[in-house]
Amino acid sequence: MKEIVCKLLVIGAGPGGYICAIRAGQLGVDTVIVEAVKAGGTCLNIGCIPSKALIHAAEEFEKVSHMASAKSPLGISVEAPKLDLAKTIAWKDGIVGRLNSGVLGLLRKARVKIVHGRAKFRDGKTVEVETETGVQVIRAETIVIATGSEPVELPFLPFGGPVISSTEALSLKTVPQKLVVVGGGYIGLELGTAFAKIGSKVTVVEATSQILPQYDAELVKPVAKRLADLGIRVLTGAKAKGLSGSALLIETAEGAEEQLAADKILVTVGRKPRTEGWGLDELDLDRAGKFLRIDDRCRTSMRGVHAIGDITGEPMLAHRAMAQGEMVAEIVAGKKRIWDKRCIPAVCFTDPEIVTAGLSPDEARAQGYEIRVGQFPFNANGRAMTMLSEEGFVRIVARADSNLVLGIQAVGSGVSELSSAFALAIEMGARLEDIAATIHAHPTRSEGFQEAALKALGHALHI
């Protein structure tokens, strides 16, 4: 097979990789991208997109179920709904397929050559790809590693049989009667909540003292209340020990052993960089723990080799990878770029949703800032009332001396759609006065953002 020579080779067509390749192609860079599975990577195929589809279907099912129970205050009554999970999954797969085809189309439009197969490094300039028609050798001036991440497998709970990862959970054709979720982080709670809404009896086992340990307790409280309302049993300070027949053996916070009967055991204890099988040992790349070490231009320790996305560490978010990919493409094309982001917003699609951007109050204090905090509850927001979703709040953290906004957090229904406004305020160097003086449309949930700024300034209008 004839050797391919190019200026830029991108390994991995996930969000970071395909954005890097598309932007490089737009800039006239001769680009090749290699993908072992499907364009779009984990996020599009077995992560962000399919999980949000399942979450939406579960929300719709629960709404109708609530109306059928004669508990709805809206005056709507319906027959008890039924769910065909196989049809739901087929609908989800259709969305994934459309987006997958869209990514391939965008790559072709940018004149990027796509090679399907698994890449393996020979050296810092050369890879060989196992394709359906044989080994393809590719030589490039610059290589971008964008191989992503994969679920962490517990040695005493290997995937297989009743033990599943998020990948298998998103392809189930029937609803498990009893689902045990090992790990109370965002992936476990997003999926656990969805399955509870469509009929599973869900138990969450979390080793730390709080679910969603990366968030402060105030943000987590509305989520914990909702889990209880849905009948989800949450065991914090509990450790999974292994299988006992078809049950999960755990050690409770009190030190007692308990067996949790389960049709499926969903293990969501984190993700690890996908570094095995790529021939990375052939390269002399510095590591930061498990991850590849990069600088503020996403350069690794080897000249001509960049790395982006999950393989470079936290935050392991698709939109971070995309921003890194765009930047690297422009650097390869000769533009002067550097990573200078003030914040990367993060969204937890639980019920209610959580959004964070910038510093929390504790993080700001830990960095030595004197701060003022403004918080506005959604139970004082007209739009939230009319949507029967009054739980949660918006919170703004600002410097006490200058009112410069350092961080914004929110928990509530649909607050993921406020994440861009939060990030923009921080990136633009907004002060409390800027947000307070910006007219926010009424009636919208976004008014809580303005009211939180007013509260921090000492003159909230609606509380």
Q: 231-245: b or e for each residue (b if 16 or more CB lie within 10 Å)?
A: ebebbbebebeebee
How many other CB atoms sit within 10 Å of the CB of residue 338?
10
Angle at the Cα of 225 from the Cα atoms of 220 and 231, rounded to 5 degrees: 130
User: What phi and psi, each to the nearest 5 degrees, are found at residue 76?
Assistant: -100, 130
Neighbours of 293 (CB within 10 A): 15
Handedness of CA 183, 185, 188, 193 (dihedral sign): positive
Closest CA to 83 of 5, 198, 240: 198
Neighbours of 8 (CB within 10 A): 25
d(CA 309, CA 150): 12
For residues 180 and 260, the answer to whether their CB atoms sit within 8 Å is yes
Is the bond preceding residue 315 a cis peptide, omega within 30 degrees?
A: yes
- 116 flagged as catalytic: no
CA distance 4 to 161: 42
SS (H, E, C) 97-114: HHHHHHHHHHHHHCCCEE
Which tokens in the block code for residue 242? 């292994």
User: DSSP of 429-460, one letter per residue?
Assistant: T-BHHHHHHSPPPSS-TTHHHHHHHHHHHT--
* Tokens representing residue 261 in the block: 């009967």
Q: Tokens 């969903």 correspond to what residue?
A: 266
448, 394 in Cβ contact below 8 A? yes
From first CA to last CA, the distance across the chain in angstroms is 71
Which position among 66, 442, 459, 462 bears the catalytic label?
Answer: 442
Omega before 443 within 30 of 0, i.e. cis: yes
Using DSSP, state whether 204 is helix, strand or coil.
Answer: strand
Dihedral angle at the C-alpha atoms of 288, 294, 296, 298, nearest 10 degrees?
-150
d(CA 263, CA 180): 8
Q: Tell me how many degrees the CA angle 368-373-376 measures, rounded to the nearest 5.
A: 160
Would you name the residues annotated as active-site residues?
Answer: 442
